[in-house]
């Protein structure tokens, strides 16, 4: 079964070849036995995950809170610069595959991505790290036997490009953009990846740095700005970034504080506008007058929806891809299908 997983610093997004999708915060916390379990009732937040390795029978199974459940339980994100060494990698990958894998006896052909800035240096290591992964994954009361048969690695941003042109099986879905010069702005949680496709002698090719690459700026930059802006109304008390995010995600911008609530929506509006303007300014400096040769600037990533109206004002050729948060995951699946067809054609 083909499954793509886009593990972002902020959120994990995954898509199966059947078109099923799942997303959750890339937050993980260890789960230990609690004397309070079941006392207060209510619905359990997603997800409680238990992992064990059939080929390591001497190791005990480990349980984790993942996603929303981890945010509530005080979990954390891990931002290792070497992605293959992310200690939460197995947990996030297995949770995504476990939620989407419909056939336990069918090995997974996995597609994943890496930021543009580290793709060349780290693609082989992440492939080695995940190929052959064999895990028993229990999510709630469902048990999945997961085996990764093959791993395909693609650059972030390129996933958005493939998703704009192709469906998840590799077929062309947008004839208007085929063979056209386009750019991609992929706004993630920690970084923004960008791609500039130009016509070469033998077809479209990505233009190298400084036209394609990564900027160390993303949605977390806006959350940090909100954190700073709320110091005054909070009388010097610094709100936790995770509490800001939970308020924006779950509670319509209302953050509980000192027996009351603080409305974060005005701060969010200013922070998102400032973030979009900064990204736009950096890319205009990189692209210069060559921006006028583009047929479209494709906006995707987890911040695509939130920032699109600002990009639309800055870039006349801007277009928002369908379901921006899933664009990389869908694009990896499309690119995987194209590579597999090419491999099959070579025999």
Task: Give the pLDDT confidence of 262-313 residue by residue, as tens digits.
Answer: 999 999 999 999 999 999 999 999 999 999 999 999 999 999 999 999 999 9
pLDDT at 37: 54
C-alpha span between 314 and 327 (Å, rounded)? 21
Q: Domain total for the chain?
A: 2
- In whole numbers, what is the pLDDT of the chain averaged over residues? 93
Percent of residues, the chain, with pLDDT higher than 90: 85
C-alpha span between 95 and 327 (Å, rounded)? 19
Residues 194 and 116 in one domain: no
Tokens of 276: 């979009």
For 139, the domain range is 2-155
Phi, psi of 72 (to 5 degrees): -70, -35
Nearest to 331 by CA among 195, 132, 209: 195
For residues 110 and 3, is the Cβ–Cβ distance under 8 A? yes
Task: Give the pLDDT confidence of 53-64 residue by residue, as tens digits.
Answer: 999 989 999 999
pLDDT at 201: 84
- 319: domain CATH number is 3.30.420.40
| pTM listed for this prediction | 0.94
DSSP β-bridge partners for residue 183: 196, 297
CA 120 to chain centre: 19
Residues 120 and 51 in one domain: yes
Return the DSSP state at 235: T
Picking from 106, 131, 155, the residue at the C-terminal end of a domain is 155
pLDDT higher than 50, residue 42: no
> Residues near 130 by Cβ (< 8 Å), separated by ≥ 6?
89, 93, 110, 112, 148, 151
Picking from 155, 178, 200, the residue at the C-terminal end of a domain is 155
Tokens of 120: 């060349």
């Amino acid at each position: 079964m083909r499954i793509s997983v886009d593990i972002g610093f902020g959120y994990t997004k995954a898509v199966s070849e059947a078109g099923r999708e799942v997303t959750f915060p890339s937050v993980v916390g260890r789960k230990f036995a609690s004397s309070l379990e079941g006392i207060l009732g209510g619905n359990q937040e997603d997800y409680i995950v238990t992992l064990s390795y059939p080929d390591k029978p001497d190791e005990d199974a480990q349980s984790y809170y993942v996603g929303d459940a981890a945010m509530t339980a005080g979990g954390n994100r891990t931002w290792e610069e070497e992605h293959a060494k992310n200690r939460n990698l197995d947990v996030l990958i297995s949770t995504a595959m476990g939620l989407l894998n419909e056939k336990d006896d069918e090995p997974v052909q996995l597609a994943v991505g890496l930021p543009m800035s580290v793709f060349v240096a780290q693609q082989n290591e992440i492939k080695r790290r995940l190929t052959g992964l064999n895990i028993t994954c229990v999510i709630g009361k469902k048990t999945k036997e997961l085996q990764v048969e093959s791993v395909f690695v693609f650059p972030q941003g390129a996933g958005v490009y493939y998703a704009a042109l192709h469906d998840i099986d590799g077929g062309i879905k947008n004839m208007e953009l085929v063979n056209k010069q386009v750019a991609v702005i992929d706004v993630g949680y920690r970084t923004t990846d960008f791609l500039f496709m130009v016509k070469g002698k033998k077809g479209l090719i990505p233009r190298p740095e400084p036209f394609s690459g990564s900027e160390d700026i993303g949605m977390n930059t806006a959350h940090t700005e909100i954190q700073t802006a709320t110091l005054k109304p909070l009388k010097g008390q610094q709100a936790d970034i995770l509490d800001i995010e939970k308020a924006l995600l779950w509670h319509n911008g209302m953050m509980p504080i000192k027996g009351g609530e603080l409305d974060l929506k005005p701060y969010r509006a200013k922070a998102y506008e400032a973030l979009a303007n900064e990204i736009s300014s950096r890319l205009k400096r990189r692209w210069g007058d060559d921006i006028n040769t583009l047929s479209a600037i494709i906006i995707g990533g987890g911040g695509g929806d939130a920032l699109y109206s600002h990009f639309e004002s800055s870039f006349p050729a801007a277009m928002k891809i369908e379901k921006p948060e899933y664009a990389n995951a869908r694009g990896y699946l499309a690119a995987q299908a194209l590579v597999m067809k090419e491999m099959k054609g070579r025999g």
